[in-house]
Amino acid sequence: MTRNSRSVQPIIFASAALASVLALTACSGGAAANQGGDGSALKVVATTTQLTDFAGEVGGDDIELTGLLAPNASAHHFDPSPADLLALGEADVLIVNGANLESFVDDAVDASGFDGVIITAADGIDLEEARHITAEGGGAEADHDHEHDEAAGAAAAGTDESDHDHDDHDHGDLNPHIWTSPSNAEGMVEEIEAGLAKADPDHASDYEQRADAYIDRLQQLDTWVAAQFDRVPAAERVLVSGHDSLRYFLHDYGIEFAGSILPSFEDNAEPSAADIDALVASIKEHSVRAVFVESSMSPKLAQTIAQEAGVEVVDAESLYADSLGAPDSDGATYIGATVHNTKVILEAWGAKVDAVPDSLQG
Protein backbone atom coordinates (compact mmCIF):
# COMPACT_ATOMS: atom_id res chain seq x y z
CA MET A 1 0.00 0.00 0.00
CA THR A 2 1.18 3.53 -0.56
CA ARG A 3 2.52 5.85 2.17
CA ASN A 4 2.95 9.07 1.54
CA SER A 5 -4.67 24.63 0.91
CA ARG A 6 -5.71 25.60 -2.47
CA SER A 7 -5.08 29.29 -2.93
CA VAL A 8 -7.97 31.64 -2.19
CA GLN A 9 -8.16 34.96 -0.40
CA PRO A 10 -7.23 34.54 3.29
CA ILE A 11 -10.01 34.27 5.84
CA ILE A 12 -10.46 37.50 7.76
CA PHE A 13 -11.31 36.86 11.38
CA ALA A 14 -13.24 39.80 12.76
CA SER A 15 -12.11 41.21 16.07
CA ALA A 16 -15.48 40.38 17.57
CA ALA A 17 -15.04 36.72 16.67
CA LEU A 18 -11.60 36.65 18.23
CA ALA A 19 -12.93 38.27 21.35
CA SER A 20 -15.60 35.58 21.48
CA VAL A 21 -12.94 32.89 21.28
CA LEU A 22 -11.11 34.35 24.24
CA ALA A 23 -14.34 34.55 26.19
CA LEU A 24 -15.43 30.97 25.56
CA THR A 25 -14.94 28.41 28.29
CA ALA A 26 -14.05 24.75 27.98
CA CYS A 27 -17.75 23.90 28.27
CA SER A 28 -18.60 25.69 25.03
CA GLY A 29 -20.02 23.70 22.14
CA GLY A 30 -19.52 24.09 18.42
CA ALA A 31 -17.40 21.07 17.60
CA ALA A 32 -18.82 18.77 14.97
CA ALA A 33 -17.72 15.60 16.75
CA ASN A 34 -16.29 14.92 20.19
CA GLN A 35 -15.26 11.87 22.16
CA GLY A 36 -13.29 11.37 25.32
CA GLY A 37 -13.29 14.55 27.37
CA ASP A 38 -11.86 13.42 30.74
CA GLY A 39 -8.91 15.79 30.32
CA SER A 40 -6.29 13.03 30.12
CA ALA A 41 -6.69 12.02 26.47
CA LEU A 42 -4.70 13.50 23.60
CA LYS A 43 -6.73 16.41 22.19
CA VAL A 44 -7.07 16.01 18.44
CA VAL A 45 -8.78 18.27 15.91
CA ALA A 46 -9.46 17.03 12.38
CA THR A 47 -10.62 19.24 9.53
CA THR A 48 -12.85 17.09 7.28
CA THR A 49 -15.49 14.53 8.18
CA GLN A 50 -13.43 11.75 6.58
CA LEU A 51 -10.35 12.64 8.62
CA THR A 52 -12.48 12.78 11.77
CA ASP A 53 -13.71 9.26 11.02
CA PHE A 54 -10.16 8.00 10.34
CA ALA A 55 -8.85 9.63 13.51
CA GLY A 56 -11.64 8.10 15.57
CA GLU A 57 -10.88 4.65 14.20
CA VAL A 58 -7.17 4.96 14.98
CA GLY A 59 -7.36 7.00 18.18
CA GLY A 60 -10.22 5.23 19.90
CA ASP A 61 -10.58 6.12 23.56
CA ASP A 62 -7.00 7.41 23.71
CA ILE A 63 -7.95 10.70 22.09
CA GLU A 64 -10.46 13.49 22.61
CA LEU A 65 -11.57 14.16 19.05
CA THR A 66 -13.08 17.29 17.52
CA GLY A 67 -14.15 17.48 13.89
CA LEU A 68 -14.35 20.97 12.43
CA LEU A 69 -16.63 20.25 9.47
CA ALA A 70 -20.22 19.16 9.99
CA PRO A 71 -21.82 16.31 7.98
CA ASN A 72 -22.70 17.29 4.40
CA ALA A 73 -20.45 20.37 4.60
CA SER A 74 -17.55 21.13 2.29
CA ALA A 75 -14.02 22.25 3.12
CA HIS A 76 -13.88 24.29 -0.08
CA HIS A 77 -15.60 27.26 1.54
CA PHE A 78 -15.44 26.73 5.28
CA ASP A 79 -15.16 29.45 7.93
CA PRO A 80 -14.17 28.23 11.41
CA SER A 81 -16.48 29.44 14.18
CA PRO A 82 -15.19 30.93 17.43
CA ALA A 83 -15.85 27.55 19.10
CA ASP A 84 -13.83 25.81 16.38
CA LEU A 85 -10.93 28.17 17.01
CA LEU A 86 -11.14 27.56 20.74
CA ALA A 87 -10.98 23.78 20.21
CA LEU A 88 -8.03 24.22 17.87
CA GLY A 89 -6.21 26.46 20.32
CA GLU A 90 -6.52 23.81 23.04
CA ALA A 91 -5.58 20.86 20.79
CA ASP A 92 -2.39 18.83 20.91
CA VAL A 93 -2.75 17.61 17.32
CA LEU A 94 -4.33 18.98 14.13
CA ILE A 95 -5.04 16.56 11.29
CA VAL A 96 -5.41 18.14 7.84
CA ASN A 97 -6.01 16.66 4.41
CA GLY A 98 -3.44 18.78 2.57
CA ALA A 99 -3.28 18.57 -1.24
CA ASN A 100 -4.54 22.16 -1.47
CA LEU A 101 -7.89 21.43 0.17
CA GLU A 102 -8.11 23.53 3.34
CA SER A 103 -7.43 27.17 2.49
CA PHE A 104 -8.56 28.18 5.96
CA VAL A 105 -5.97 26.25 7.97
CA ASP A 106 -3.09 28.72 8.18
CA ASP A 107 -5.33 31.59 9.27
CA ALA A 108 -7.13 29.33 11.75
CA VAL A 109 -3.83 28.22 13.26
CA ASP A 110 -2.68 31.81 13.63
CA ALA A 111 -5.99 33.02 15.05
CA SER A 112 -6.32 30.16 17.55
CA GLY A 113 -2.73 30.12 18.79
CA PHE A 114 -2.42 26.40 18.03
CA ASP A 115 1.15 25.22 18.62
CA GLY A 116 0.83 21.43 18.52
CA VAL A 117 1.64 18.73 15.96
CA ILE A 118 0.17 18.95 12.46
CA ILE A 119 -0.46 15.67 10.64
CA THR A 120 -0.93 16.10 6.89
CA ALA A 121 -2.78 12.99 5.70
CA ALA A 122 -1.83 13.63 2.07
CA ASP A 123 1.76 12.83 3.02
CA GLY A 124 0.61 9.20 3.28
CA ILE A 125 0.02 8.82 -0.46
CA ASP A 126 2.03 9.12 -3.66
CA LEU A 127 1.27 12.69 -4.70
CA GLU A 128 3.09 12.36 -8.02
CA GLU A 129 0.70 9.55 -8.93
CA ALA A 130 -2.19 11.72 -7.74
CA ARG A 131 -1.03 14.53 -10.06
CA HIS A 132 -0.92 12.05 -12.92
CA ILE A 133 -4.46 10.88 -12.19
CA THR A 134 -5.62 14.50 -11.98
CA ALA A 135 -4.03 15.26 -15.35
CA GLU A 136 -5.36 12.19 -17.16
CA GLY A 137 -8.93 13.31 -16.54
CA GLY A 138 -10.71 9.98 -16.23
CA GLY A 139 -10.60 6.37 -15.18
CA ALA A 140 -11.73 4.27 -18.13
CA GLU A 141 -8.25 2.94 -18.88
CA ALA A 142 -7.17 2.52 -15.28
CA ASP A 143 -5.88 -0.89 -14.27
CA HIS A 144 -6.98 -1.43 -10.69
CA ASP A 145 -4.07 -2.80 -8.67
CA HIS A 146 -5.08 -4.67 -5.52
CA GLU A 147 -1.42 -5.06 -4.49
CA HIS A 148 -0.66 -1.55 -3.28
CA ASP A 149 2.96 -0.49 -3.67
CA GLU A 150 4.65 -0.35 -0.29
CA ALA A 151 7.48 1.85 -1.51
CA ALA A 152 5.52 4.41 -3.54
CA GLY A 153 5.30 6.95 -0.73
CA ALA A 154 8.82 6.61 0.62
CA ALA A 155 9.67 10.17 -0.39
CA ALA A 156 7.15 11.42 2.13
CA ALA A 157 8.98 9.79 5.04
CA GLY A 158 10.56 12.17 7.54
CA THR A 159 8.03 14.96 7.06
CA ASP A 160 7.94 17.28 10.06
CA GLU A 161 4.29 17.29 11.06
CA SER A 162 4.89 20.05 13.60
CA ASP A 163 5.79 22.57 10.89
CA HIS A 164 3.06 25.21 10.62
CA ASP A 165 4.23 26.40 7.19
CA HIS A 166 2.00 24.69 4.63
CA ASP A 167 3.86 26.12 1.64
CA ASP A 168 5.67 22.77 1.44
CA HIS A 169 2.30 21.15 0.79
CA ASP A 170 1.37 23.38 -2.18
CA HIS A 171 1.05 20.62 -4.77
CA GLY A 172 -0.09 22.77 -7.67
CA ASP A 173 -2.80 21.48 -10.00
CA LEU A 174 -3.86 18.55 -7.85
CA ASN A 175 -7.37 17.28 -7.27
CA PRO A 176 -7.64 17.36 -3.45
CA HIS A 177 -10.33 14.66 -3.08
CA ILE A 178 -7.69 12.03 -2.41
CA TRP A 179 -9.73 10.11 0.19
CA THR A 180 -12.29 8.86 -2.35
CA SER A 181 -9.88 6.05 -3.29
CA PRO A 182 -9.87 3.37 -0.56
CA SER A 183 -6.22 2.65 -1.36
CA ASN A 184 -5.41 6.32 -0.74
CA ALA A 185 -7.44 6.14 2.47
CA GLU A 186 -5.13 3.36 3.66
CA GLY A 187 -2.10 5.60 3.25
CA MET A 188 -3.86 8.49 4.96
CA VAL A 189 -4.74 6.26 7.92
CA GLU A 190 -1.12 5.11 8.18
CA GLU A 191 0.00 8.73 8.23
CA ILE A 192 -2.50 9.54 10.98
CA GLU A 193 -1.36 6.53 13.01
CA ALA A 194 2.29 7.55 12.71
CA GLY A 195 1.50 11.14 13.70
CA LEU A 196 -0.57 10.15 16.73
CA ALA A 197 2.14 7.73 17.86
CA LYS A 198 4.73 10.50 17.60
CA ALA A 199 2.56 12.89 19.61
CA ASP A 200 1.60 10.25 22.19
CA PRO A 201 4.27 7.50 22.34
CA ASP A 202 2.69 5.89 25.42
CA HIS A 203 -0.23 4.70 23.29
CA ALA A 204 1.72 4.02 20.08
CA SER A 205 1.03 0.28 20.10
CA ASP A 206 -2.69 0.90 20.57
CA TYR A 207 -2.78 3.31 17.63
CA GLU A 208 -0.91 0.80 15.49
CA GLN A 209 -3.23 -2.05 16.42
CA ARG A 210 -6.37 -0.06 15.66
CA ALA A 211 -4.92 1.29 12.41
CA ASP A 212 -4.00 -2.21 11.24
CA ALA A 213 -7.51 -3.48 11.98
CA TYR A 214 -9.10 -0.56 10.14
CA ILE A 215 -6.76 -0.87 7.15
CA ASP A 216 -7.75 -4.53 6.90
CA ARG A 217 -11.37 -3.39 6.58
CA LEU A 218 -10.38 -0.78 3.95
CA GLN A 219 -8.70 -3.51 1.92
CA GLN A 220 -11.84 -5.64 2.14
CA LEU A 221 -13.82 -2.58 1.03
CA ASP A 222 -11.53 -2.11 -1.96
CA THR A 223 -11.90 -5.75 -2.97
CA TRP A 224 -15.69 -5.65 -2.67
CA VAL A 225 -16.09 -2.41 -4.63
CA ALA A 226 -13.76 -3.63 -7.39
CA ALA A 227 -15.77 -6.83 -7.76
CA GLN A 228 -19.00 -4.85 -8.19
CA PHE A 229 -17.68 -2.64 -10.97
CA ASP A 230 -15.69 -5.42 -12.69
CA ARG A 231 -18.93 -7.08 -13.83
CA VAL A 232 -20.04 -3.92 -15.67
CA PRO A 233 -18.70 -3.73 -19.26
CA ALA A 234 -16.03 -1.04 -19.57
CA ALA A 235 -17.99 0.88 -22.21
CA GLU A 236 -20.90 1.26 -19.76
CA ARG A 237 -18.77 2.55 -16.88
CA VAL A 238 -19.27 6.26 -17.51
CA LEU A 239 -20.16 8.82 -14.86
CA VAL A 240 -21.23 12.46 -14.63
CA SER A 241 -21.14 14.07 -11.18
CA GLY A 242 -21.90 17.39 -9.57
CA HIS A 243 -18.25 18.41 -9.53
CA ASP A 244 -14.94 16.67 -10.05
CA SER A 245 -14.96 15.07 -6.60
CA LEU A 246 -14.57 11.35 -7.36
CA ARG A 247 -11.52 11.38 -9.63
CA TYR A 248 -9.47 8.84 -7.63
CA PHE A 249 -12.44 6.53 -7.01
CA LEU A 250 -13.19 6.50 -10.73
CA HIS A 251 -9.55 5.85 -11.59
CA ASP A 252 -9.31 2.91 -9.18
CA TYR A 253 -12.33 1.14 -10.62
CA GLY A 254 -11.93 1.91 -14.33
CA ILE A 255 -14.83 4.36 -14.62
CA GLU A 256 -14.71 7.03 -17.32
CA PHE A 257 -15.39 10.58 -16.18
CA ALA A 258 -17.62 12.21 -18.81
CA GLY A 259 -17.81 15.57 -17.06
CA SER A 260 -19.23 17.45 -14.11
CA ILE A 261 -21.93 20.07 -13.64
CA LEU A 262 -19.49 22.48 -11.99
CA PRO A 263 -16.37 23.17 -14.03
CA SER A 264 -13.65 22.54 -11.42
CA PHE A 265 -12.64 20.57 -8.32
CA GLU A 266 -14.55 23.04 -6.17
CA ASP A 267 -18.23 22.81 -5.30
CA ASN A 268 -18.87 26.56 -5.41
CA ALA A 269 -17.76 27.15 -9.01
CA GLU A 270 -20.24 28.52 -11.55
CA PRO A 271 -20.71 26.85 -14.96
CA SER A 272 -21.19 29.01 -18.01
CA ALA A 273 -23.86 28.41 -20.63
CA ALA A 274 -21.14 26.93 -22.85
CA ASP A 275 -20.08 24.58 -20.03
CA ILE A 276 -23.65 23.35 -19.66
CA ASP A 277 -24.09 22.85 -23.41
CA ALA A 278 -20.82 20.90 -23.58
CA LEU A 279 -21.84 18.68 -20.67
CA VAL A 280 -25.23 17.90 -22.22
CA ALA A 281 -23.45 16.97 -25.44
CA SER A 282 -21.00 14.74 -23.54
CA ILE A 283 -23.87 12.99 -21.72
CA LYS A 284 -25.54 12.20 -25.02
CA GLU A 285 -22.28 11.19 -26.74
CA HIS A 286 -21.32 8.76 -23.96
CA SER A 287 -24.85 7.39 -23.48
CA VAL A 288 -24.65 8.35 -19.81
CA ARG A 289 -27.56 6.86 -17.88
CA ALA A 290 -27.69 9.24 -14.91
CA VAL A 291 -26.28 12.41 -13.42
CA PHE A 292 -25.21 12.07 -9.79
CA VAL A 293 -25.20 14.88 -7.23
CA GLU A 294 -22.95 15.02 -4.18
CA SER A 295 -24.59 15.41 -0.78
CA SER A 296 -22.89 18.80 -0.25
CA MET A 297 -24.51 20.33 -3.36
CA SER A 298 -27.94 21.57 -4.40
CA PRO A 299 -29.53 19.29 -7.02
CA LYS A 300 -31.36 22.06 -8.89
CA LEU A 301 -28.85 22.62 -11.70
CA ALA A 302 -28.37 18.87 -12.09
CA GLN A 303 -32.11 18.43 -12.53
CA THR A 304 -32.15 21.04 -15.29
CA ILE A 305 -29.18 19.47 -17.11
CA ALA A 306 -30.51 15.94 -16.78
CA GLN A 307 -33.89 16.98 -18.16
CA GLU A 308 -32.22 18.66 -21.13
CA ALA A 309 -30.06 15.59 -21.76
CA GLY A 310 -32.97 13.20 -21.28
CA VAL A 311 -31.41 11.19 -18.45
CA GLU A 312 -32.13 10.44 -14.80
CA VAL A 313 -30.76 12.64 -12.03
CA VAL A 314 -29.83 10.84 -8.81
CA ASP A 315 -30.30 13.39 -6.06
CA ALA A 316 -32.58 11.77 -3.50
CA GLU A 317 -29.79 9.28 -2.75
CA SER A 318 -26.84 11.62 -3.08
CA LEU A 319 -23.22 10.57 -3.30
CA TYR A 320 -21.01 11.27 -0.30
CA ALA A 321 -17.81 12.76 -1.70
CA ASP A 322 -16.81 16.08 -0.12
CA SER A 323 -18.35 15.06 3.18
CA LEU A 324 -19.71 12.13 5.11
CA GLY A 325 -23.37 12.15 6.03
CA ALA A 326 -25.36 12.64 9.21
CA PRO A 327 -24.96 10.06 12.00
CA ASP A 328 -28.18 8.26 11.04
CA SER A 329 -27.38 8.09 7.31
CA ASP A 330 -25.71 5.43 5.15
CA GLY A 331 -22.80 7.83 4.79
CA ALA A 332 -22.07 8.35 8.47
CA THR A 333 -18.70 6.59 8.15
CA TYR A 334 -16.11 6.45 5.37
CA ILE A 335 -16.73 2.76 4.74
CA GLY A 336 -20.48 3.22 4.85
CA ALA A 337 -20.29 6.19 2.46
CA THR A 338 -18.13 4.26 -0.02
CA VAL A 339 -20.46 1.25 0.05
CA HIS A 340 -23.43 3.61 -0.39
CA ASN A 341 -21.81 5.39 -3.35
CA THR A 342 -21.00 2.10 -5.03
CA LYS A 343 -24.55 0.79 -4.63
CA VAL A 344 -26.17 4.04 -5.80
CA ILE A 345 -24.03 4.23 -8.94
CA LEU A 346 -24.53 0.58 -9.87
CA GLU A 347 -28.26 0.59 -9.20
CA ALA A 348 -28.65 3.67 -11.43
CA TRP A 349 -26.79 1.74 -14.12
CA GLY A 350 -29.13 -1.22 -13.70
CA ALA A 351 -26.33 -3.47 -12.46
CA LYS A 352 -26.42 -6.20 -9.82
CA VAL A 353 -24.87 -5.47 -6.42
CA ASP A 354 -23.61 -8.22 -4.13
CA ALA A 355 -24.54 -8.36 -0.47
CA VAL A 356 -22.26 -6.22 1.67
CA PRO A 357 -19.91 -8.34 3.82
CA ASP A 358 -20.50 -8.29 7.56
CA SER A 359 -17.05 -6.75 8.07
CA LEU A 360 -18.18 -3.65 6.17
CA GLN A 361 -21.46 -3.24 8.03
CA GLY A 362 -21.93 -0.63 10.74
Assess contact for 118 and 96: CB atoms under 8 A: yes
What's the pTM value of the predicted model, to 2 decimals?
Answer: 0.80
Q: What is the DSSP string of 224-265?
A: HHHHHHHTS-GGG-EEEESSS--HHHHHHTT-EEEEESSSSS
* CA pair distance 359, 240, nearest whole angstrom: 30
Question: Higher pLDDT residue, 222 or 173?
Answer: 222
92: nearest Cα among 2, 201, 16, 3 = 201
Helices (DSSP H) in 113-245: which residue ranges?
127-136, 182-199, 204-230
Sheet with 117-120, edge to edge strand ranges: 63-67, 42-46, 93-96, 117-120
Q: pLDDT band at residue 264, thresholds of 50, 70 and 90?
A: low
Work out the average pLDDT over 162-190: 75
Q: What is the mean pLDDT of residues 193-222?
A: 98
pLDDT number for residue 76: 80
**299-333 pLDDT, tens per residue?**
788 888 888 888 888 876 689 999 999 999 999 99
CATH number for the domain formed by residue range(s) 15-223: 3.40.50.1980
What CATH number has the domain spanning 232-360? 3.40.50.1980
pLDDT band at 29 (very low <50, low <70, confident <90, very high): very low
Residue 51 has pLDDT above 60, yes or no: yes
CA distance linking residue 159 with residue 166, whole number of Å: 12
Spell out the domain ranges in the chain: 15-223, 232-360
Tell me, rounded to whole angstroms, the distance of Cα 252 from its chain centroid: 15
Of the candidates 259, 335, 266, the one whose C-alpha atom is nearest the C-alpha of residue 297 is: 266
The whole-number pLDDT of residue 197 equals 98
Provide, rounded to the nearest whole percent, the portion of the chain with pLDDT above 70: 77
CB 26, CB 300: distance < 8 Å: no
Q: Is the pLDDT of residue 291 over 80?
A: yes
Condensed to tens digits (0 to 9), the pLDDT of residues 267-286 reads: 566 778 888 888 899 889 88
Residue 183 clears pLDDT 80, i.e. is over it: yes
Closest to 32 (Cα-Cα) out of 76, 106, 96, 83 = 83
Section 255-259 average pLDDT: 91
Contact (CB, 8 A) for 208 and 90:
no
Query: Average model confidence (pLDDT) for the chain?
Result: 81
Q: What per-residue confidence (pLDDT) applies to 42? A: 98
pLDDT in tens, 63-81: 999 999 999 888 887 899 9
- DSSP, res 353: -
Domains 15-223 and 232-360 share a fold: yes
Q: Does the structure show a pLDDT above 50 at 342?
A: yes
**Mean pLDDT, range 71-100, rounded to an integer:** 93
Angle between helices 334-348 and 204-230 (to 10 degrees): 0
Q: Note the pLDDT of residue 18.
A: 40
Residue of 64 and 295 predicted with greater confidence: 64
